[in-house]
């Protein structure tokens, strides 16, 4: 067992872990931050995306020990300080960009990473960026719309409903 | 002007806030003090006799609580099948036992042989590796036609063969159908495969069993679409636990698509082991486990023939289908290729004679059961492909041939036992032609060709049957359950309502749309209404959510219960207002006396019901809570027309979807935003089936596509923006909301549109290609072109 310490959503967090403990397990099982989901075991689905030192990472593919000392952001820390939904979260609700909600935390975290690097992505930019996030419910239409809307673009003309 | 609430409004989903902030409560988020974890040791061999299982080393491993094998489950019931099909000769289907843990033999890769319960999942997994299992391998039966040959290895030694049933529908029509084919001016025939799929909800299955020794009460938290059904099947048939000692909870569930309808061994195991170990036991499926333990879908091999007269009228349809059941009968498996498939073979057309033959076959593969659409996509695919092929053979426009044969008068009794109440197939086709800009297709094709690509346009229609019912009919067809729904509406003293519905939401947004209906009926704000589902201790009874039944059946039960509430509230109001009950009107959340300015607010009436100081106690009881069970008189019949435009790269065979338009008739609509989203998701799954997804076994019964590395899930860059319309509305005539259901339409209607479009593209280049089997992967399309 080893000790890890990191900052998660702005707060110090630490725990005793086995060497093989994945960051996703540490967040879910030890810190009880169950918003980060695990939908596969081959690093394909993206439900577990979090930010580590500002970079989007699949937390099922990183050992918790590798995040020792890092600054980690999860879905639980994304809302505005007053608890209201942030711009991306609000756009997902406004444009019905989620159904069962299971892939949603990863989608929101990936969208945040995309918009940080590419503040006005085209439709194809968004679709290409989301290659590593699988959604089985929405057909992606409304997710793409939500992300473009969150970037301040007019999505009314993108496609007929 | 869009409404801002109630029926017809695109109300934003209230459930979204918790899902967007990481505050959902999925089954894997539930952890109970003292909980142990189970890991299942699963067979890596498709067929064999278990000669020994040695668990002694595993039992000595760190953290191990107990190791279970099949021997621990002798005397425990078989996992039951909920539907018995009767074959052509009047005999019941062959129905093998389905043990919780393998007994004597393994019959598919993934079948659980042993289970280790340990302090942590890692310890359970480590110990499972120390279990020594000897299996004498037997030949695996994988291909359905091989399975039916004389002398084929039997999947189940105690059955007479690998044939589950040989079903004919309608058997009495068989000779007349054959005669119509003899007399036909033209016959078009087509052999095709409806590819095997894995539903793949993004949340893998999870089960947590808990046992309270002091009260002898069991609780199962599980990823289910129908917790009451699990309570009945598992309690009554597997573990012998009466319903009053068994609570089943399905909290937030991350997608279902059919595969979370069924009762699985892992649920029974965790419930059983929680008592045996006297501590909570949790199982969380990995995705790899899901591929070899979740029921698969589709897997039909079909020959369909269409007979036409000299005027191109359809005169008869004849089909023969082999349907894979896998190694055991999953909960509703026998119903899918029969009553959910044969009854849909009329489609949108007035074909007078139809005969459907289905041979259901056991193989050494994972059980196959309902997946989004369940039987209806298989029916639609073969019918819409053969109609398209007929149009090409006859040199007529595929849309014109369809229109010529459309059913136009309703109600319409098909020759396959169902009666369509309403529909307007010309209207949806008219809408589709407008949405799809068919007039501009030639120019788009020319542009594609300029870029070295082939362009094709594929069109098809579909009809769906939702809300399978009524119970007395489905009982005659072999269902071992009723197919009603229940709702309890509890009004609190201060006027808020709690609706406890037997429908279950796992992405459909019932918490929002169901509240819209009640808000409209009473005239109060949606925020005053809470929708509760997914817990047998809160909801009296429920049949759950599948077959696009929630709003049509569950919504109707809720309407009936709310009507009872309103009737009682009117009685109370008439007393408070000192007026005749017949003069009381409810509008905008207030009761008034017709023709006067006397009124009393909703909240005053509900308060009077619970604080009955001034109350007609001699006439009615205090309180305001009502329950209704609703058993529909018929299915509902949504319908529509879909169009797909593809580009095919002739050098690689790669297909890309350039445009997709869907014109649906769902009857009345509660929340257009949610309905549109349901269609989008269905389209993605249907296009996934048509272009990408395939569940592939090798000849030894090894699953080759057992992870997201090998099973091609549709990703964002595989799909276009969709054009979706549901303005054509012919309301259902037999339910109170006039609703039809929308959950499966996209998955039912889209595969033939894609394949029709690809065939059109290839034929435009002079290729003699009449069919390509799904998925239309680049290699298959290239091979078809370069045959």
Model pLDDT, residue A161: 45
Which of B22, B707, B717 has the CB atom closest to A76's CB atom?
B22
Secondary structure E strands in A53-134: 55-58, 71-73
* Residue B756, CA distances (Å) to B307, B386, B404, B646, B752 in order: 20, 10, 19, 10, 6
Architecture of domain A87-150: Orthogonal Bundle (1.10)
DSSP B417: S
Q: What's the average model confidence in pLDDT over B131-156?
A: 98
Tokens 């594609």, located at residue: B448
Q: What's the average model confidence in pLDDT over B721-748?
A: 97
Q: Look up the CATH number of domain B296-469+634-786.
A: 3.30.365.10
SS3 B291: helix
Which of A100, A128, A141 has the CB atom closest to B722's CB atom?
A141
In B716-737, which positions are buried (b, 16+ CB within 10 angstroms) versus exposed (e)? bebbbbbbbbbebbbbbebbbb
pLDDT in tens, B521-563: 999 999 999 999 999 999 999 999 998 899 999 999 999 999 9
Above pLDDT 90, what percent of chain B?
A: 97
Q: Is B708's CB within 8 Å of A18's CB? A: no
Structure tokens at B75: 């005397």
Which of B19, B202, B723 has the CB atom closest to A136's CB atom?
B202
Query: Per-residue pLDDT for A160 more than 80?
Result: no
Distance CA A110, CA A115 (A): 9
A159 band by pLDDT with thresholds 50, 70 and 90: low
Q: Report yes or no: B292 and B43 within 8 Å, Cβ to Cβ.
A: no
Q: Which of B136, B159, B137, B155 is nearest to B146 (CA)?
A: B155
B420 sits in which H/E element: strand B419-420
Nearest-CA residue of chain A relative to B678? A138
Helix axes B745-764, B376-394, angle to 10 degrees: 30
Query: Per-residue pLDDT for A158 more than 90?
Result: no
DSSP B349: B
Model pLDDT, residue B784: 97
Provide, as residue numbers in chain B, all residues whose Cβ is less than 8 Å from the Cβ of A142.
677, 680
ipTM: 0.98
On whether any CB of chain B is under 8 Å from the CB of A46, the answer is: no
Model pLDDT, residue B656: 98
CA A123 to chain centre: 19
Q: Is A99's CB within 8 Å of B21's CB? A: no
Secondary structure E strands in B151-255: 163-169, 186-194, 197-198, 206-212, 217-222, 246-249
Model pLDDT, residue B787: 81
Strand partners, B311: none
Strand partners, B644: B458, B660
Provide, as residue numbers in chain B, all residues whose Cβ is less than 8 Å from the Cβ of A76.
21-23
What is the residue extent of each domain of chain A? Answer: 2-77, 87-150
Determine the distance in angstroms separating the CA of B505 from the nearest CA of chain A, rounded to an integer: 8
Distance CA B245, CA B274 (A): 14
Q: Report yes or no: A92 and B21 within 8 Å, Cβ to Cβ.
A: no
Q: Is A44's CB within 8 Å of B709's CB? A: yes
Q: Which of B165, B155, B131, B168 is nearest to B54 (CA)?
A: B131
Q: Report yes or no: B163 and B259 within 8 Å, Cβ to Cβ.
A: no
Domain over A2-77 is classified CATH 2.40.30.10: no
For chain A, the straight-line distance linking the first and the last C-alpha, in angstroms and rounded, comes to: 54
Q: What's the average model confidence in pLDDT over B700-722?
A: 97
Model pLDDT, residue B564: 98
Tokens 């459907």, located at residue: B356
Provide, as residue numbers in chain B, all residues whose Cβ is less than 8 Å from the Cβ of A33.
22
Nearest-CA residue of chain B relative to A74? B22
SS3 B11: coil
Pick B556 or B476 by higher pLDDT.
Answer: B556
Which of B21, B254, B708 has the CB atom closest to A40's CB atom?
B708
Q: Report yes or no: A140 and A130 within 8 Å, Cβ to Cβ.
A: yes
Q: Is A161's CB within 8 Å of B724's CB? A: yes
B508 band by pLDDT with thresholds 50, 70 and 90: very high
Q: Is B202's CB within 8 Å of A134's CB? A: yes
B284 sits in which H/E element: strand B281-284
Query: Per-residue pLDDT for A157 more than 80?
Result: no
A105 sits in which H/E element: helix A104-117
Model pLDDT, residue B2: 63
Q: Report yes or no: B647 and B660 within 8 Å, Cβ to Cβ.
A: no
Q: Is A92's CB within 8 Å of B20's CB? A: yes
Q: B667 φ, ψ to 5°? A: 70, -150
Provide, as residue numbers in chain B, all residues whose Cβ is less than 8 Å from the Cβ of A39.
202-204, 254, 287
Architecture of domain B27-138+202-255+260-293: Alpha-Beta Complex (3.90)
DSSP B238: I
Determine the distance in angstroms separating the CA of B350 from the nearest CA of chain A, rounded to an integer: 31
SS3 B594: coil
Mutate to test the interface with A, among B11, B12, B21 (most CBs of A within 10 A): B21
Whether cis (ω within 30° of 0) applies to the bond prior to B141 is no
On whether any CB of chain B is under 8 Å from the CB of A75, the answer is: yes
Distance CA A140, CA A130 (A): 9
Q: What's the average model confidence in pLDDT over B771-781?
A: 98
Nearest-CA residue of chain B relative to A89? B20
On whether any CB of chain B is under 8 Å from the CB of A138, the answer is: yes
CA B46 to chain centre: 27
On whether any CB of chain A is under 8 Å from the CB of B19, the answer is: yes
Mean pLDDT of chain B: 97
On whether any CB of chain B is under 8 Å from the CB of A68, the answer is: no
Nearest-CA residue of chain B relative to A107? B20
pLDDT in tens, B579-618: 999 999 999 999 999 999 999 999 999 999 999 999 999 9
Provide, as residue numbers in chain A, all residues whose Cβ is less than 8 Å from the Cβ of B16.
92-93, 98, 101
In B261-299, which positions are buried (b, 16+ CB within 10 angstroms) versus exposed (e)? bbbbbbbbbbbbbbbbbebbbbbbbbbbbbbbbbbbbbb
Pick B1 or B365 by higher pLDDT.
Answer: B365
pLDDT in tens, B484-496: 999 999 999 999 9
B469 band by pLDDT with thresholds 50, 70 and 90: confident
Q: What's the average model confidence in pLDDT over B60-79?
A: 97
Provide, as residue numbers in chain A, all residues whose Cβ is less than 8 Å from the Cβ of B506.
100
Distance CA A78, CA A90 (A): 11
On whether any CB of chain B is under 8 Å from the CB of A87, the answer is: no
Structure tokens at A102: 């299971």
Distance CA B358, CA B711 (A): 28
B27-138+202-255+260-293 and B296-469+634-786 have identical folds: no
Partner A, chain B 455-514, Cβ-Cβ below 8 Å: 506-509
Distance CA B30, CA B25 (A): 7
What is the interface size between A and B, counted as CB pairs within 8 Å?
191
What is the residue extent of each domain of chain B? Answer: 27-138+202-255+260-293, 296-469+634-786, 484-630
Domain over B484-630 is classified CATH 2.40.10.10: no
CA A29, A31, A37, A42 torsion-angle sign: negative
Determine the distance in angstroms separating the CA of A5 from the nearest CA of chain B, rounded to an integer: 22
Q: What's the average model confidence in pLDDT over B473-479?
A: 88
Who's near A134: CB < 8 A, 6+ residues apart?
A39, A40, A44, A45, A46, A47, A103, B202, B708, B713, B715
Q: Report yes or no: B334 and B84 within 8 Å, Cβ to Cβ.
A: yes
Residue B539 sits at the vertex; the CA angle it makes with B536 and B543, to the nearest 5 degrees, is 75
**Judging by DSSP bridges, how do beta strands A71-73 and A2-8 pair with one another?**
parallel
Provide, as residue numbers in chain A, all residues whose Cβ is less than 8 Å from the Cβ of B435.
160
Q: Is B716's CB within 8 Å of A140's CB? A: yes
Distance CA B416, CA B316 (A): 12
Pick B455 or B548 by higher pLDDT.
Answer: B455
Q: In what order do the strands lie in the sheet with B625-630?
A: B529-532, B497-501, B485-491, B625-630
On whether any CB of chain B is under 8 Å from the CB of A66, the answer is: no
Mutate to test the interface with B, among A128, A141, A157, A160 (most CBs of B within 10 A): A141
Q: Report yes or no: B442 and B197 within 8 Å, Cβ to Cβ.
A: no
Q: Is B717's CB within 8 Å of A37's CB? A: no
Q: Is A130's CB within 8 Å of B122's CB? A: no
pLDDT in tens, B618-646: 999 999 999 999 999 999 999 999 999 99
Rg over CA atoms, chain A = 16
Provide, as residue numbers in chain A, all residues whose Cβ is less than 8 Å from the Cβ of B714.
139-140
CA B688, B689, B691, B694 torsion-angle sign: positive
Strand partners, A71: A7
On whether any CB of chain A is under 8 Å from the CB of B103, the answer is: no
Structure tokens at B156: 């189940």
pLDDT in tens, A29-70: 999 999 999 999 999 999 999 999 999 999 999 999 999 999
Distance CA B255, CA B394 (A): 44
SS3 B342: helix
B487 sits in which H/E element: strand B485-491
Q: B328 φ, ψ to 5°? A: -135, 165
Q: What's the average model confidence in pLDDT over A109-133?
A: 98
Who's near B40: CB < 8 A, 6+ residues apart?
B112, B114, B115, B128, B266, B269, B283, B289
Distance CA B652, CA B656 (A): 12
Q: Report yes or no: B527 and B454 within 8 Å, Cβ to Cβ.
A: no
Q: Which of B715, B526, B439, B416 is nearest to B10 (CA)?
A: B526
Q: Label each residue of chain A as H, E or C.
A: CEEEEEEECCEEEEEEECCCCEHHHHHHHHCCCCCCCCCCCCCCCCCCEEEECCEEEEHHHCEHHHHCCCEEECHHHCCCCCCCCCHHHHHHHHCCCCCCCCCHHHHHHHHHHHHHHCCCCCHHHHHHHHHHCCCCCCCCHHHHHHHHHHCCCCCCCCCCC
Q: What's the average model confidence in pLDDT over B193-201?
A: 98
DSSP B92: B
B602 sits in which H/E element: helix B602-610
């Amino acid at each position: 067992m080893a000790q890890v310490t990191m900052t998660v959503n702005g707060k110090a967090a630490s725990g005793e872990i086995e060497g093989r403990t994945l960051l996703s397990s540490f967040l879910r099982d030890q810190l009880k931050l169950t918003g980060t989901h695990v939908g596969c075991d081959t690093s394909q689905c993206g439900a577990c995306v979090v930010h580590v030192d500002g970079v989007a990472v699949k937390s099922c593919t990183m050992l918790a020990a590798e995040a020792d000392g890092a600054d980690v952001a999860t879905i639980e820390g994304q809302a505005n300080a007053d608890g209201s939904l942030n711009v991306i979260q609000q756009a997902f609700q406004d444009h019905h960009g989620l159904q069962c909600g299971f892939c949603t935390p990863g989608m929101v975290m990936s969208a945040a990473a995309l918009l940080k690097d590419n503040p006005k992505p085209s439709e194809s930019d968004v679709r290409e960026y989301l290659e590593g996030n699988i959604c089985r419910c929405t057909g992606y239409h409304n997710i793409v719309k939500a992300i473009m809307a969150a970037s301040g673009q007019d999505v009314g003309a993108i496609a007929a409903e | 002007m869009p409404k801002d609430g109630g029926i017809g409004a695109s109300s934003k989903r209230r459930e979204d806030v918790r899902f967007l902030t990481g505050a959902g409560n999925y089954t894997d988020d539930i952890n109970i003090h003292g909980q142990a974890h189970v890991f299942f040791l699963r067979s890596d061999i498709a067929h064999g006799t278990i000669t020994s299982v040695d668990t002694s080393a595993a039992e000595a491993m760190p953290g191990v609580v107990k190791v279970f094998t099949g021997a621990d489950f002798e005397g425990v019931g078989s996992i039951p099948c909920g539907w018995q099909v009767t074959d052509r000769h009047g005999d019941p289907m062959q129905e093998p036992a389905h043990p919780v843990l393998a007994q004597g033999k393994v019959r598919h890769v993934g079948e659980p042989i042993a289970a280790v319960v340990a302090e942590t999942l890692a310890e359970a997994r480590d110990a499972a590796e120390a279990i020594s299992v000897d299996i004498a391998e037997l030949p695996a039966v994988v291909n359905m036609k091989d399975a039916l040959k004389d002398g084929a290895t039997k999947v189940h030694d105690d059955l007479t063969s690998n044939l589950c049933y040989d079903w004919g529908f309608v058997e009495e029509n068989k000779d007349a159908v054959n005669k119509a084919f003899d007399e036909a001016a033209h016959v078009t025939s087509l052999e095709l495969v409806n590819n095997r799929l894995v539903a793949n909800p993004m949340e893998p299955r999870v089960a947590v069993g808990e046992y309270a020794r002091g009260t002898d009460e069991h609780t199962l938290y599980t990823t289910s679409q129908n917790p009451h059904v699990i309570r009945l099947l598992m309690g009554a048939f597997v573990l012998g636990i009466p319903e009053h000692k068994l609570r089943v909870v399905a909290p937030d569930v991350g997608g279902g698509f059919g595969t979370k309808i069924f009762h699985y061994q892992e649920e029974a195991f965790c419930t059983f082991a929680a008592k045996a170990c006297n501590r909570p036991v949790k199982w969380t499926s990995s995705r790899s486990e899901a591929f070899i333990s979740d029921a698969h879908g589709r897997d039909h091999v079909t020959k369909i023939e269409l007979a036409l007269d000299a005027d191109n009228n359809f005169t008869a349809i004849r089909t023969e289908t082999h349907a894979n059941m896998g190694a055991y009968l999953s909960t509703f498996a026998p119903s899918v290729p029969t009553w959910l498939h044969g009854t849909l073979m009329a489609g949108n057309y007035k074909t007078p004679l139809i005969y459907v033959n289905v041979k259901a076959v056991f193989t050494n593969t994972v059980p196959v059961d309902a997946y989004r659409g369940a039987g209806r996509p298989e029916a639609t695919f073969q019918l819409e492909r053969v109609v398209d092929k007929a149009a090409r053979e006859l040199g007529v426009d595929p849309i014109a041939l369809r229109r010529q044969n459309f059913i136009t008068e309703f109600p319409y009794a098909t020759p396959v036992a169902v009666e369509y109440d309403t529909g307007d197939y010309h209207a949806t086709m008219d809408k589709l032609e407008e949405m799809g800009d068919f007039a501009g297709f030639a120019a788009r094709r020319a542009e594609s060709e300029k870029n070295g690509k082939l362009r094709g346009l594929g069109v098809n229609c579909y009809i769906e049957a939702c809300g399978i019912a009524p119970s007395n009919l489905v009982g005659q067809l072999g269902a071992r359950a009723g197919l009603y729904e229940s709702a309890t509406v509890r009004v609190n003293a201060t006027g808020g309502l709690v609706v406890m519905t037997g429908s279950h939401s796992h992405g459909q947004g019932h918490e929002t749309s169901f509240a819209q209906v009640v808000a409209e009926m009473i005239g109060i704000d949606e925020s005053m209404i809470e929708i509760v589902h997914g817990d047998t201790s809160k909801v009296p009874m429920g049949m759950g959510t599948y077959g696009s039944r929630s709003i049509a059946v569950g919504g109707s039960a809720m309407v009936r219960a709310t009507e009872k509430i309103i009737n009682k509230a009117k009685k109370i109001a008439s007393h408070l207002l000192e007026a005749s009950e017949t003069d009381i009107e409810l509008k905008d959340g207030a009761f008034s006396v017709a023709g006067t300015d006397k009124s009393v607010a909703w909240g005053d009436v509900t308060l009077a019901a619970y604080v009955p100081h001034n109350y007609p106690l001699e006439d009615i009881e205090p309180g305001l809570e009502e329950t209704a069970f609703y058993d529909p008189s018929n299915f509902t019949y949504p319908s529509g027309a879909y169009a797909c435009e593809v580009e095919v790269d002739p050098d690689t065979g790669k297909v890309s979807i350039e445009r997709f338009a869907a014109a649906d008739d769902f009857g009345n609509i509660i929340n257009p935003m949610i309905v549109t989203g349901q269609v989008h998701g269905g389209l993605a799954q249907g296009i996934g089936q048509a272009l990408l997804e395939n569940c592939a076994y090798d000849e030894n019964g090894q699953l080759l596509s057992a992870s997201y590395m090998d099973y091609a899930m549709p990703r964002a860059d595989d799909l276009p923006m969709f054009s979706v319309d549901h303005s054509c509305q012919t309301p259902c005539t037999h339910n109170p909301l006039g609703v039809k259901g929308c959950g499966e339409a996209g998955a039912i209607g889209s595969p033939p549109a894609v394949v029709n479009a690809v065939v059109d593209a290839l034929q435009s280049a002079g290729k003699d290609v009449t069919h390509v089997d799904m998925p239309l992967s680049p290699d298959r399309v290239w091979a078809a072109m370069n045959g």
